[in-house]
Structure 1
């Protein structure tokens, strides 16, 4: 428990200072920061769904999509390769249709 508390920021330590057990510390941290994580996950998902290539180069666009997917992975939400491909293709929009006609 001491190791965990020592690894927290000052503001987080003040929130868990009165906790008597490790379970209480985890529960308090979950309540404090769980909502923030869920909100951020929803925000990243929304960014992925609305991302489009636009004026970006294909390399920049794919890199941006992969970076958002990696953000989800780092928050404990694994990204399936099929989903990543779907997000990339969705954002190509009319460019994808032009490629299919060639």
Structure 2
């Protein structure tokens, strides 16, 4: 038997297929269940600041989605900035490449794909002047250079 207080309703759509939707029912019915986990992880002022005016679950979800979307965009900007500004400095080539790959992995987890060619450009851009000859060699090639091949050549140069 269906729960009359449930926000999910199931129906048969125009194509004759079973569908479901979330209705906008009064927030008072759902707030304790919806907010319990979120409240445990955030401060009360942060919670109420964003959801105080929500009257339905639909309003609540839209508000939370917008809040986290803004946080997500800020994170993406921060990670892109890290890719552009991270320098090798005193790190080994392997540690430096790992650090750049970790940032790229975080970007991918945030929904932004960084392909190998772009990743290689970020790695090459953060090297010091002592790698100028290798960078010139890698960037002047007519064919594509794999990330693994570039890392091998950079490591070989580092060992000299």
User: When the two structures are superposed, what TM-score results if normalisation uses the length of structure 1?
Assistant: 0.75
Moved more, 48-57 or 75-84: 75-84
How many residues matched?
Answer: 100
Higher RCO (C-alpha under 8 Å, 6+ residues apart): 1
Residue 8 of structure 1, aligned match among 38, 46, 54: 38
Per-residue Cα deviation, 1:43-69 (whole angstroms, up to 9, x for no partner):
111111011111000111001000100
Instruction: Go from structure 1 to structure 2 and tell me whether the alpha carbon gap of 1:42 and 1:7 turns closer, same or farther (over 3 Å shift).
Output: same
Instruction: Look at both structures and tell me which one has the larger radius of gyration over its CA atoms.
Output: 2
- Structure 2: unaligned runs, 5 residues or longer: 1-6, 8-29, 138-156
- Structure 1: unaligned runs, 5 residues or longer: none
User: When the two structures are superposed, what TM-score results if normalisation uses the length of structure 2?
Assistant: 0.51
Instruction: Go from structure 1 to structure 2 and tell me whether the alpha carbon gap of 1:7 and 1:95 turns closer, same or farther (over 3 Å shift).
Output: farther
Name whichever structure is richer in strand by fraction. Answer: 2
* RMSD across aligned positions (CA): 2.6
